Amino acid sequence: GKTLIITTLCIIKCLYGEKLDIVTSCSVLAKRDAESEPPKCNKELYEFFGVTVGHICSEDIDQRAQTFSKCDVVYGDLSSFQRDYLLNRFYEKNILDKRNFESVIVDEVDSMLLDNGNNMLYLSHDIPDMEKLQSLFIFIWRSVNQPVNSLDDLNKIYDNAAIKQSIIEDIHGMIMRDEVDAGVWQALLKSKTIDEDGRILIHLKDYTTHVEQLKFPKQKTENRLIFLLNIISNRQRFIKLRSEFYNFIEQHLDKFIDNAKNALFMSEGVDYVIDVDRTGLDPDLNPKIIIIDKNTGTDQSSSQWHEVLHQFLQIKHGCKLSLMSLKAVFISNVSYLKLYQNLYGLSGTLGSRDKKQLLNELYNIDLIKIPTSKLKNFFEERPIISGYKEQWTNSIYDETKKKIIKDRSVLIICETV
């Protein structure tokens, strides 16, 4: 019903010379609606009225630009439209051509505009030198993925402060305040050999000359300090970084550690899948971590989790490490949809008064309830409560078998892949 209403409205608008964008809940539906013949969809109906239709759910930027240029009606999921808008505005890719924001029709309007209204689409940069951070990521992962024998071990391993200190010790080298006398500590601070936290600021292979210049009154103190600094200088280091990254790491280190813990407890088949690229656009045939959209169940092969979460999952499963990317430009769902002069939407589930009021206030739109053309044949059967998993699985099988015997189709909805 909704599909035919959208098609009819598009044809009417196009006959008046307008161009329309149709936002679907996922790319699979966008491709189906733009390419399928009846009875699945209405491509033939568009063609009968001379209306050209296409979709932008492709990784080929030239193909998408051609769709925007030549088609009266363009289908796509919201993230595809946002991506091309950001590329067009901030990267001068000229994807949208002369297409302006006249009218948009949003399928499942409550999901797009309310439930996911605050969602953001980010376009990120791959920074070439970011591969230098891989030793840091491996060090953090090894720190949170250690075997534990007791609750005390667990608390120690998951103590962010302890992990952070071990990282700083490895990168900079550190002198603890209780390792030297107060006078020595102050002399090291004054000479900028260390900072307030005890991090080594001056890196030398041999500290003999440097310490002698500090002119301590006792030779014993001087010798002990030279020995201590030389031991720290010649320590075994696992993290190898250029000094240009130090400030960046300081700002993001807590989030890196948190995401290493998150990656440890995320599950394959629930939050992500491991698969090769099946779009045909990536020549790399190595297995990848592919995000699953929990709302639609579709794969998001071109997306990555930020703050190194994606890289920690790659380490977890032995996949090829990709470069860490940095957020560059972004736009929210609400901000993008407000760019359009005319906003239309359809939903079969917009029920509560609060939702309707919020939709009206946020987008300044009117709402109308259209009754169904036929009485619903929906019948809700009594629920079956099972005591254990095997009984639950058998109940699903038995009920499915009953429907199939009657030549009825059955849709089994699962929580995860």
Residue 146 has pLDDT above 80, yes or no: yes
Q: In the predicted model, what is the mean pLDDT of residues 408-413?
A: 89
Coil vs helix vs strand at 394: helix
pLDDT of residue 40: 65
pLDDT of residue 296: 66
Q: In the predicted model, what is the mean pLDDT of residues 105-126?
A: 72
Which tokens in the block code for residue 128? 């070439």
Coil vs helix vs strand at 363: helix
Which tokens in the block code for residue 320? 């090829």
19-23, 105-109, 201-205, 284-288: range with highest mean pLDDT: 19-23
What CATH number labels 128-148+242-330?
3.90.1440
Whether the CB-CB separation of 119 and 331 falls below 8 Å is answered with no
CA dihedral 219, 221, 222, 225 (to 10 degrees): 160
Where residue 259 falls among pLDDT bands split at 50, 70, 90?
Answer: very high
Residue 16 has pLDDT above 70, yes or no: yes
Residue 276 has pLDDT above 80, yes or no: yes
Q: Please name every residue paired with 54 in a beta bridge, in sequence order, or none if there are none.
A: 74
CA 342/CA 385 separation, integer angstroms: 47
What CATH number labels 2-123+332-363?
3.40.50.300
37-41, 46-50, 216-220, 368-372: range with highest mean pLDDT: 46-50
- No. of helices (H) and no. of strands (E), the chain: 17, 10
How distant, in Å, are the alpha carbons of 7, 128, 378 from that of 374?
A: 20, 59, 12
pLDDT of residue 163: 92
* % of the chain with per-residue pLDDT over 70: 94
Please name which of 257, 333, 251 lies closest in space to residue 295, comparing C-alpha atoms. Answer: 333
Residue 111 has pLDDT above 70, yes or no: no
Residue 114 has pLDDT above 70, yes or no: no
How distant, in Å, are the alpha carbons of 106, 272, 339, 405 from that of 377?
A: 27, 37, 40, 19
- H or E, element range at 13: helix 2-15
Please name which of 266, 259, 265, 267 lies closest in space to residue 163, comparing C-alpha atoms. Answer: 259
Where residue 393 falls among pLDDT bands split at 50, 70, 90?
Answer: very high
Question: At what angle are helices 246-265 and 134-144 packed, to 10 degrees?
Answer: 40
Residue 117 has pLDDT above 60, yes or no: no
Where residue 369 falls among pLDDT bands split at 50, 70, 90?
Answer: confident
Measure CA of the first residue to CA of the last residue in the chain; give whole Å.
29
Where residue 350 falls among pLDDT bands split at 50, 70, 90?
Answer: low
Residue 118 has pLDDT above 70, yes or no: no
CA 307/CA 300 separation, integer angstroms: 18
Residue 188 has pLDDT above 80, yes or no: yes
Question: pTM of the prediction?
Answer: 0.74
Mean pLDDT of the chain: 86
Whether the CB-CB separation of 47 and 8 falls below 8 Å is answered with no
CA dihedral 270, 127, 118, 9 (to 10 degrees): -90
- Measured at the CA of 49, the angle between CA 36 and CA 76, to 5 degrees, comes to 40
CA 304/CA 314 separation, integer angstroms: 11
